[in-house]
Chains A and B, each alone.
Chain A
């Protein structure tokens, strides 16, 4: 999953100009735009030669991101103050495990746990990817159960209707 960043299908994860809000930059997670957007400038230097941008003088915020096309900042642990906010989808996965009756929720818990592990060592790109997979498992599990419920309801209605005649 996270290893596929150099696959060439879509741009590598990183901060890119926000297509919806020029003047902002937005986190691209490698597959889709995230909700994390912040103003450009604000003291952060986005000079092309920002190879050594993670210096003690770097202002807070996940700065130091490369301009489009340069190497992703994948494994460089960022200062905690600028750590991106990632919801690992742990409790949501637990909820799905207990109330959606499908083993998919357990898979979600594993990915949520992996996400928290990655976060604890500062690998935020991996953490984001794992959290996305946990979310995927949880939402699919909820969606499938809702779908089954609707089908069940239809059968029930048809059954009651045909029993009435």
Chain B
């Protein structure tokens, strides 16, 4: 724990010395470029170039994010139905994450007084949702198979 802190702290202190817009801008640019790259490569082709989910490789189980990249590709192709089949939680979470990023960027730029904070009930609800999704999508019976990532 404290050793991990020693690795992370110098990094975050370096980030603290940069102008405050750099962090949200970096996250935004990386997200946009990532979406553009994912959107131009068919998963059939991309699957041979990019590593699979490390958790799935090790355990053979779907992690909460499995199918997320294919869902993103389906969304860029205007096929929300297919996207939901790959990873429904990612599809629901994406707009919320974009909103959270916007709130965070506004805070970092000084347009907003405080960071994004939700009520503890909502935070624990998100946790419970993800864990439930994690368990259910790995069950081998219909209708839970629908929650799986659909990877071979």
Contact = CB atoms under 8 A, between A and B. Distances in A.
Interface of A: 1, 31-32, 35, 85-88, 90-91, 94-95, 97-103, 105-106, 109-110, 112-113, 116-117, 119-120, 132, 135-136, 139-140, 145, 148-149, 152, 156
B115 interface: yes
Contacts of B25: none
Given A32-B9, A94-B97, A120-B120, A101 B56 contact: yes
A148 B65 CA distance: 16
Contact of A99 (B68, B96, B114): B68
Closest 9 CB pairs between A and B? Answer: A91-B100, A113-B123, A87-B115, A117-B120, A101-B53, A98-B65, A152-B51, A109-B127, A116-B120
7 contacts: A87-B115, A94-B93, A99-B68, A102-B55, A106-B134, A109-B123, A113-B124
Contacts, number: 106
B112 to A, nearest CB: 10
B114 A85 contact: yes
B66 interface: yes
Given A91-B116, A95-B97, A152-B51, A31 B5 contact: yes
A109 B122 CA distance: 11
Given A85-B115, A109-B130, A113-B124, 19 more contacts: A31-B2, A32-B5, A32-B13, A35-B16, A91-B116, A94-B93, A94-B126, A97-B64, A101-B53, A101-B54, A106-B64, A110-B127, A112-B123, A116-B117, A116-B118, A139-B8, A139-B12, A145-B54, A152-B51
Main secondary structure of the interface of A (DSSP, over half): helix
Contacts of A110: 127
Interface in B1-41: 1-2, 4-5, 8-9, 11-13, 16
Interface residues of B, number: 47
Interface of B: 1-2, 4-5, 8-9, 11-13, 16, 49-51, 53-56, 63-66, 68, 87, 89-90, 93, 96-97, 100-101, 104, 107, 113-120, 123-124, 126-127, 130-131, 134
Contacts of A35: 16
Nearest to A149: B51
